[in-house]
Each structure stands twice: as C-alpha cells, then as structure tokens.
Amino acid sequence: MFIQFVQDNLLLFAVAIVSGAMLIGPMLRRSGGGAAANTLQATQMINRQDAVMIDVREDAEYAKGHIVGSRHIPMSQLDSRVGELQKFRSKPLIAYCESGNRSSRAVSVLRKHGFESVFNLTGGYAAWQQAGLPVEK
C-alpha cells in the first residue's frame, strides 16, 4: 500500500524527502563543533552552573554591545589566548558571535584545547538581543 502511494505520488514524495533533508542538514552541520545551547538553556546554565559567556566577535562588534559579564576573546586570538580560560575549566563555556557561525569554530578550538563543557549559543548575539536578555555597551 505504501509502495503504491510512493509510485503514484513520486514527485510529492521526492519533495518531502528533499525538504526534510534541508531542515535537518543545518542542524547536523551546526552540531559538528560541539553542543548548541539556545538562549533559554544558556541563561539556565549561567544561573545554575555559573557558565561563562565567551564573546568571539571582533573589537568593534564587542564595543557596540555584548552580553553582560561576557569575556571578550576575538576568534582570531582564541588559540593564543586560550590560557585565560583555564580558571574556568570546571564551568560550562558558552561561545557566541553575531549569528553563531564563528562561535561554532570557537567551540571546536576550545574542545581541541581540552575543554569538555563547551556550547555554541544558537543564533548568537542577535538571538540574545531578540529574546530581550541583558546586554551592555
């Protein structure tokens, strides 16, 4: 019965498969560098586990505004400045950039340096602002 349905609606079935792959693909690529945390999960980790926010944007972006209490280490300097984060090894680290792309690379770098509890803020600083969460300049 299912096979007959697929044969009768081959184009419809193909569109469903392609659209499903388009929805799942970005999630699989995003999780490649490590776990992701949305704004709700990030605030819970900050409040319950004393998580540390790591802003990997460039200086000019950081100066325009950043998450309250975040540590600023631009992605271009992360490898050389990773030692600054050693004292936070026992805490979750949540990396963020403007949209979540650079910070996913930062998660990979931090994992390479032995940090285990590292997360990428889904949607980055833009998602944080959109959620109305606290920022400072």
Q: What is the DSSP string of 14-55?
A: HHHHHHHHHHHHHHHHHGGGSEEE-HHHHHHHHHHH--EEEE
Phi/psi at 98 (nearest 5 deg)? -70, -45
Query: Which residues are within 8 A (CB) of 36 and not within 5 positions of it... i.e. 6 or more apart?
Result: 30, 100, 119, 120, 121, 122
CA atoms of 107 and 54, how far apart (whole Å): 10
Which region, left, alpha or beta, applies to residue 114 given φ > 0 means left and ψ of -120 to 50 means alpha?
Answer: left
Q: Can 97 be counted among the known catalytic residues?
A: yes
CA atoms of 8 and 25, how far apart (whole Å): 27
Residue among 97, 106, 110, 121 flagged as catalytic: 97
Catalytic residue numbers, as ranges: 97
